[in-house]
A and B are shown apart, each in its own frame.
Chain A
Amino acid sequence: MTGFLSPLIEPGFFANAPVQTALLVGGIVAVVSGVVGTFTVMRGQSFAGHSLADIGTAGGSAAFLLGISPLFGFVAMNLLAAGVMESIGIRRPRGRDLATGIVLGGALGIAALFLYLDTTASSTTGATINVLFGSIFTLPSSLVPFIGVFSVVALALVLAMYRPLILTSISSDLAKAQGVPIRLVGIVYLVALAVAVSLSAVAIGAILSTALLIGPAATALRITNRTGYAALIAAAIGVVATWLGVLLAYDSYYWFPTGGGWPVSFFVVTVVFLVYLLSQVRVRPRAGARRESTAAETG
């Protein structure tokens, strides 16, 4: 089999330690992002999901200043930000983007300060680039257990309130009539989102984090209407895209311009986007797509 695939897979791919870590962490993060992302797309909170990845930068750079692992800074900052977003008014569809935007704007200002202090304190200028475009290949393997734990927490939160979460995501009026505590479900979901996003942002960078959160889930929700299947399909698409991205980035070491290789995030994002476009083409003639698009326009 290796002989058959040898034009595709460069020699030494599976024996390489950073590659093994990248495949493992990328896989875990893709599964969590796929499952959590399905609800993010259903609830229309893509902006919050993306913002948390950026907001975490402020916590990550502060943690760097204090000399602790950025992961904890990310999680702490994101939980705080999720709390502020919730109190400003992420519940109302109309004020949702504004609430997210205000928190994001303030947090980016703080990030600017801490990153500036980081660079003056230690003269390492790469902090910004690392956070936004962080490379999956430079992950220390000591981080893997923490990533595992946080992944389990995020997944457990989503699974524990699986049914009320679906109900509130589809129709909050219906959920209210059934006696579901909408606000509580919203808060717990936001906590799961904050944990999942900070985990993936610190592991694979903010861009990839959003790509894996939204892309596969949006594609899956085009393919099926059933939430459970959608979450599974999203996780599968995410894992395949991540592994393909890691593989291509490894291969690209010998591509133009030689001597560095192309970034993983570029390949993963490209794969995710192409799959999304493909799903658009396939589903378009069906009545379901039309209904959904008009619902999205009015809503």
Chain B
Amino acid sequence: MFSGLMLNAWESASIVAIVAGVVGFFIVLRGSAFAAHALPNGAFAGAAGASLIGVDAIAGLAVFSILGALTIAGLGRRARHDVATALVIVVMLGLGSLFLSMTTEYAPEIYSLLFGEVLGVSSSELAPIAAIGVVCVAAILLIYRPLMFSSVMPDVAEARGIRSGRMEVAFLVVVALTTTMAVPVVGALLIFSLLISPAAAARSFTSKPLTAMGLSVLIALGTVWSAIALSYLSNLPIGFFVGSIGAATYAAGRGWATWRRNRRASPRPSSQALQPGVAG
């Protein structure tokens, strides 16, 4: 379980989990889950295009996800954000379907791009994955304070001279880079789960930002590690375990938050109890 190819799997998945935990925290905070779903899907189209013209898949992933991020930010400025994201994802997938119809790629390879092939990560792929991962985390640390400010209080941040538009572009590009790095490992569809679920679960355990971010990284690591182990033992696809464990940790977080709220509510009257007229 810890030899040869498996070692690459453990290392690459750990890198992806750490970056996903950090970046995911801000995705949940900013409510940009749709963009986090759209960019990996668009990047998948880029990988299909790269295989069509015979260049490295990572180049295709990077070009398409960054182009997608810039388009979402550009269109989102004038129209509703979710509409812009929806249109970007369908345009990129439309291109992807065109590329796929032209390539002679076999279906299993497409399946692995969508649902991940953690065992297929080679030693030569490990270096670019690690490099992009370092860039992503460094970028987040660099813009940590203004990003946090503009995510939590956009209006106040704007008044303090933080351009929320620029923050949005910068953040989406970081998400795009995370996508580029993660798609070969966990797949276009499941990186989304890894970005959202651990961070969402972490937020229901604590409200302190740095603690939540650390917890989110730990949960992400726990998710991928147990997913790899279970996938190795049961011979079922890793994506299934990533998705299910992610949903389960979120449910646990919600349960914990509800339980704590109920316990706290008993000595102190809740907001509903203060307004008896509403119910009647």
Q: What are the residues of chain B within 8 A of A207 when measuring CB–CB?
A: 90, 93-94, 97
B-chain residues with CB within 8 Å of residue A211 when the two chains form the complex: 87, 90, 94
Q: A100-B33, A265-B97, A273-B91 are in contact. Are A41 and B80 (CB under 8 A)?
A: yes
- Say whether A257 contacts B192, CB under 8 Å: no
**Chain A, 7-62, CB within 8 A of any chain B CB:** 41, 44-47, 49-51, 54
Instruction: Digitize A91-108: 1 where CB-to-B-CB distance is under 8 Å, 0 elsewhere.
Output: 000101110111011111
Name the residue of chain B whose CB is nearest to the CB of A99. B33
Most chain B beta-carbon contacts within 10 A, residue among A107, A112, A263: A112
Question: Which of B8-16, B53-61, B104-112, B266-274 contacts its partner?
Answer: B104-112
Query: Which residue of B85, B100, B193, B241 contacts A108 across the interface (Cβ within 8 Å)?
Result: B193
A167 CA to B82 CA in the complex, in Å?
A: 21
Contact status B236-A105, CB under 8 Å: no
Q: Which of B89, B102, B110, B187 contacts A210 (CB 8 A)?
A: B89
With A97-B31, A105-B246: A132-B93 Cβ-Cβ less than 8 Å: yes
Residue among B33, B241, B242, B254 making CB contact with A101, cutoff 8 Å: B33
- Give every chain B residue within 8 A of A46 (Cβ-Cβ): 34, 80, 82-83, 85-86
Whether B37 lies near A51 (C-beta < 8 A) is: yes
Contact B94 A265 (CB under 8 A): yes
The answer to whether A106 and B115 touch across the interface, beta carbons within 8 angstroms, is no
A51-B37, A105-B192 given; A126·B107 CB < 8 A: yes
Q: Which residues of A contact B254 (CB under 8 A)?
A: 88
Question: How far apart are the CA atoms of A185 and B125 in the complex, in Å?
Answer: 51
- A44 partner residues in chain B, CB cutoff 8 A: 80, 82
| A122 lies within 8 A of chain B by Cβ | no
- Interface size in chain A (residues, C-beta < 8 A): 63
- Asked if B110 contacts A128 (CB within 8 A), the reply is yes
Say whether A112 contacts B77, CB under 8 Å: no
Determine whether B177 belongs to the interface, using a CB cutoff of 8 Å to chain A.
Answer: no
Provided the pairs A128-B110, A293-B79 are in contact, do residues A98 and B33 lie with their beta carbons within 8 angstroms? Answer: yes
Q: Which of B1-46 contact A (CB under 8 A)?
A: 28, 31-34, 36-37
A109 at the interface (CB under 8 A from B): yes
B residues near A272, Cβ cutoff 8 Å: 87, 90
Q: Indicate if the CB atoms of A214 and B83 lie closer than 8 Å.
A: yes
Interface presence of A218 (CB below 8 A): yes
Distance A263 CA – B48 CA, assembled complex (angstroms)? 14
In the complex, how many angstroms separate the beta carbon of B274 from the nearest chain A beta carbon? 19
Interface assignment of B146: CB less than 8 Å from any CB of chain A: no
Q: Is the CB of A113 within 8 A of B97?
A: no
> Does B148 interact with chain A (Cβ within 8 Å)?
no
Does B70 belong to the interface (CB within 8 Å)? no
In the assembled complex, which residues on chain A have CB atoms less than 8 Å from the CB atom of B91? 269-270, 273
- Check B240 against A116 for contact (C-beta < 8 Å): yes
Contacts A47-B86, A260-B101, A269-B91 known; 17 new A-B pairs at CB < 8 A: A46-B85, A46-B86, A106-B246, A109-B190, A109-B239, A109-B247, A110-B240, A119-B108, A128-B107, A210-B89, A260-B102, A262-B98, A266-B101, A273-B87, A284-B78, A293-B77, A293-B79
Residues of chain B touching chain A, judged by Cβ–Cβ distance below 8 Å, are 28, 31-34, 36-37, 77-83, 85-87, 89-91, 93-98, 100-102, 106-108, 110-111, 114-115, 187, 189-190, 192-193, 196-197, 200, 236-237, 239-244, 246-247, 250, 254
8 A-B residue pairings within 8 Å (CB atoms): A45-B82, A105-B243, A106-B243, A108-B243, A128-B110, A218-B83, A265-B94, A293-B77
